[in-house]
Amino acid sequence: MLTELYSMDVAQSEDTEQYFALGNLVRSYCAKNWSSTNRLYMKKEKKQAYYFSMEFLLGRMLKSNLLNLGILETVRGGLKELGIDLEKIVQIEADPGLGNGGLGRLAACFIDSMATCEIPGHGNGIRFKYGLFKQKFVNGYQVELPENWLQNGNVWETRRMNMAVTVSFYGKVWLEETVNGYMLPHYENTERVLAVPYDTPIIGYGNNTVNTLRLWSAELPAQDEAMDYWSYIQRRNRIESISEVLYPDDSNYEGRLLRLKQEYFFVSAGIQSIIRHYKKMGLSINHLAEKVAIHINDTHPALCIPELMRLLLDEEHLDWEHAWNITINVMSYTNHTIMSEALEKWPIDMISSLLPRVYQIISEIDRRYVEKMAALHSTGKIERTRIIEGGHVKMAHLAIIGSHSINGVAKLHTAILKEKVLHDFFLIYPSRFNNKTNGITQRRWLMLANEPLRELINEKIGNDWEKTLTELKMLKAFRNDEETLKELAEIKRINKAHFAEYVLDALKIEVDPDAIFDVQIKRLHAYKRQLLNLLHILKLYLDLKEDPKTDIHPRVFIFGAKAAPSYTYAKEIIKLINSVAELINHDASINNKLKIVFIENYGVSLAEKIIPAADVSEQISLASKEASGTSNMKLMLNGAVTLATLDGANVEIRDRVGSENIIIFGLTDKEVYQYYQDGSYHSHDYYENNPVLQRVLNTLIDGTIPDAETEGRDIFNSLVNYGDEYFVLRDFDEYVAAQKKIDKLYRDPLTWQRMALINIAGAGVFSSDYTVLQYANDIWDVAYRPDAGELLN
């Protein structure tokens, strides 16, 4: 292979060539199964599920492909004989960061699990030229750099020019009656964009299934090349900008025109290609819903609904009622947040000028909704739930009205949707609402990221868990087996030492593998309360300054977090954490009892290093605000003990491991809603009445923390004087007490390792295999691996 590609042999080759040679080899190795999977789906006319998502946060694929193909060890051994270290060459691959955080990583876990569970299910999204920005710290401030992940090419993708479709924007549209009585649109002056698909094989684990992730790239259509040279260059740039860059906002809506273009671009391209494929099978469009399910991942692809309507009406000439029926049966929608700032609403002007025909259809959906509901519900409820309201198109309302299923991502989250955030809709469409608790793939997050743990588990209980993660419960039998608990401790110690090496190398910070590794890795957002973590660190610092003999077990606080570039407050928190790190890490009198490690550029590849080394998993969002969380699941699966509020999937983690094996603190969702109702939270009182907290907060403004005056002042004000929106001060005391408990538990190694073991044993239900099987069964009505069905009982 090396010879074919680069006319050189192994001895001459470098890592990069070796990586691409191996990548090409793997791709051709799975090519047969890829086409046979497609042929099988075609021949059997199997119903297909398409997961539409703005983001797919895949992570590197070489090792995961080798694992899923069952050739990881063979290849590792073969390379070793050639004197090549597999670990070294996998690092060459660019980490495709085509997502922001949880939502994008969930999509990546889902496509892995769909292939493994033999679900005919594919991803549809955008091939961004630039992924999520690369984060650097300069003087402690976040600086964003472009992530040019395609620079050295991408071995996994195949460009399929023959499957390109055209997507149209702008222009004028009017309806005219045709001879056979249809009202059909005429367009004038539209801007046409060529959508070119790049397909990536998604390889199932231990089977012959290879599904497809189809990512669209925007290009200038060929006929436009004939125009004036400079207009041509200009137009080409305009068009190519559509798939240029991923918007870096997580759970925060920014109403940019280019973002709306992106949304329509991959929706229209995806649906056109689905219909084209469907018709190739020679089936009537009337039966579309029997063969196609489309899933809308958050509201970003909600234009799927009017776009499918458009194609059914304008291209297939169905009547409205019939088209609407099909559309509802095809579409389903997942809600990922209750935070109001994340809810997408596009100004009417923007949608109607960019997408005139789609806007006509949205208005008609809205008109019919209001008309139909008038007889059944109060005007108040109808006004609150209609799609077009206050000069905007509300995308969540569109998604709900146009789908047969609406799900939340954890039990608590779904309950809050039904009872609070979407209560009106729940009264209107009770049977559409359901829960699908998130999950993670054990392939990437245990088998690949933590090989020593994988081996230990296999030694103890065999490897059935690799396909059926709930089998991990067998580990409980070892809860009092000292030898197993010691082995578990030894593995954790090895992983920590390994990570410590990385920290020393990358950040020049020395950390002790015998310290507690306390990890908070997730996007920087006020509701996730990295500040609560920081205030506790400051308290420990003050305790140690006052009395250097303060008896605490050494701790390394590990943070990984990117802030949206426009999110000033989040960026101030990053700077503050870095300044506190400066203060503490260089204070000799702290005597290495405290260290802060803020990892730069946190993403999938770094998560794979950090998670196996974690002792404590910080899941401390304000109750009701984190829809699910998924790092909580990855960390528990790797034997970390969770320190958590009763939020998102933390509640289900507690139910699995029992209250003795998780540390819970803080307000409940009910209490938070009670505070909202009676308006009785006054954060200033906590500052006034709690001397410890007051002393800690004063460090933000009294010069204790170097080089963070502005940030310290702003953050102090937000907490003390401007209401403390996320109840940080309210939960402070309980958090400190919970941390004390952690310290005490950790000092009793057997107790701690028993907790770790029970967490691993209880993580089985959080496999995304199980999650996608439930989607397949309850929502999409598509087939799955016959023996996987038992997971559903």
- Residues involved in catalysis: 336, 522-523, 528, 630, 634
- Residue 589 beta carbon to ligand Z15: minimum distance, rounded to whole angstroms: 39
Among the candidate windows 29-37, 217-225, 256-264, 626-634, which touches ligand Z15 by CB under 6 A? 626-634
Which of 628, 645, 704, 768 is the binder for ligand Z15 (CB under 6 A)? 628
- The answer to whether residues 299 and 53 touch, using CB atoms and an 8 Å cutoff, is no
Which of 58, 103, 271, 302 is the binder for ligand Z15 (CB under 6 A)? 103
Rounded distance between C-alpha atoms, residue 127 and residue 113, angstroms: 21
CB closer to ligand Z15 out of 672 and 755: 672
What are the backbone angles phi and psi of residue 25, rounded to the nearest 5°? -60, -45
Rounded distance between C-alpha atoms, residue 371 and residue 364, angstroms: 10
CB closer to ligand Z15 out of 106 and 362: 106
Rounded distance between C-alpha atoms, residue 742 and residue 759, angstroms: 15
Using the rule CB under 6 A, is 603 a contact of ligand Z15?
no
Which of 204, 439, 648, 712 is the binder for ligand Z15 (CB under 6 A)? 648
- The answer to whether residues 729 and 693 touch, using CB atoms and an 8 Å cutoff, is yes
CB closer to ligand Z15 out of 562 and 754: 562
Residue nearest ligand Z15 (C-beta atom):
102
Binding residues among 667-686 for ligand Z15 as defined by CB under 6 A: none
CB closer to ligand Z15 out of 245 and 596: 245
Instruction: Tell me the two tokens of residue 338.
Output: 């209750």
Among the candidate windows 208-216, 359-367, 624-632, 652-660, which touches ligand Z15 by CB under 6 A? 624-632
Among the candidate windows 80-88, 116-124, 495-503, 628-636, which touches ligand Z15 by CB under 6 A? 628-636
Q: At what angle do helices 691-698 and 728-746 cross, to 10 degrees?
A: 100
- Show the site string, 291-330: x = touches ligand Z15 by CB under 6 A, - = not: -------x--------------------------------
Instruction: Tell me the two tokens of residue 775.
Output: 């989607």
- Residue 103 beta carbon to ligand Z15: minimum distance, rounded to whole angstroms: 3
- Residue 100 beta carbon to ligand Z15: minimum distance, rounded to whole angstroms: 6
CA dihedral of residues 28, 29, 35, 37 (deg, nearest 10) = -150
- Show the site string, 425-464: x = touches ligand Z15 by CB under 6 A, - = not: -------------x--------------------------
Among the candidate windows 111-119, 221-229, 334-342, 493-501, which touches ligand Z15 by CB under 6 A? 334-342
Residue environment code for 292-325, b if the CB has 16+ CB neighbours within 10 A, otherwise e: bbbbbbbbbbbbbbbbbbbbbbbebebeeeebbe
- Residue 707 beta carbon to ligand Z15: minimum distance, rounded to whole angstroms: 31
Instruction: Name 596's bridge partners.
Output: 557
Instruction: Tell me the two tokens of residue 73.
Output: 């060890």
- Vertex 20: Cα angle to 16 and 26 (nearest 5): 145
Q: Where are the alpha helices (DSSP H) in 159-247?
A: 229-240
CB closer to ligand Z15 out of 101 and 603: 101
Radius of gyration of the chain (CA): 27
- Residue 301 beta carbon to ligand Z15: minimum distance, rounded to whole angstroms: 12
- Residue 630 beta carbon to ligand Z15: minimum distance, rounded to whole angstroms: 5
Binding residues among 375-414 for ligand Z15 as defined by CB under 6 A: 409
Using the rule CB under 6 A, is 250 a contact of ligand Z15?
yes
Among the candidate windows 142-150, 257-265, 335-343, 660-668, which touches ligand Z15 by CB under 6 A? 335-343
Rounded distance between C-alpha atoms, residue 152 and residue 774, angstroms: 39
Using the rule CB under 6 A, is 342 a contact of ligand Z15?
yes
Where are the extended beta strands (E) located within 390-463? 392-394, 405-408, 433-435
Instruction: Tell me the two tokens of residue 283.
Output: 């089936």
Closest CA to 56 of 270, 240, 230: 270
Instruction: Tell me the two tokens of residue 169.
Output: 């924007």
Rounded distance between C-alpha atoms, residue 780 and residue 79, angstroms: 42
- Residue 763 beta carbon to ligand Z15: minimum distance, rounded to whole angstroms: 15
Using the rule CB under 6 A, is 251 a contact of ligand Z15?
yes
Instruction: Count residues binding ligand Z15 (CB under 6 A).
Output: 19
**3-class DSSP state for residue 297?**
strand
- Residue 425 beta carbon to ligand Z15: minimum distance, rounded to whole angstroms: 17
Placement of tokens 């010069």 in the chain: 703
CB closer to ligand Z15 out of 473 and 522: 522
- Residue 420 beta carbon to ligand Z15: minimum distance, rounded to whole angstroms: 16
First to last CA, the chain: 47
Which of 59, 96, 97, 101 is the binder for ligand Z15 (CB under 6 A)? 101
CB closer to ligand Z15 out of 267 and 745: 267
Where are the extended beta strands (E) located within 239-287? none
Interacting residues toward ligand Z15 by CB under 6 A: 100-103, 106, 250-251, 298, 336-337, 342, 409, 438, 626-630, 648
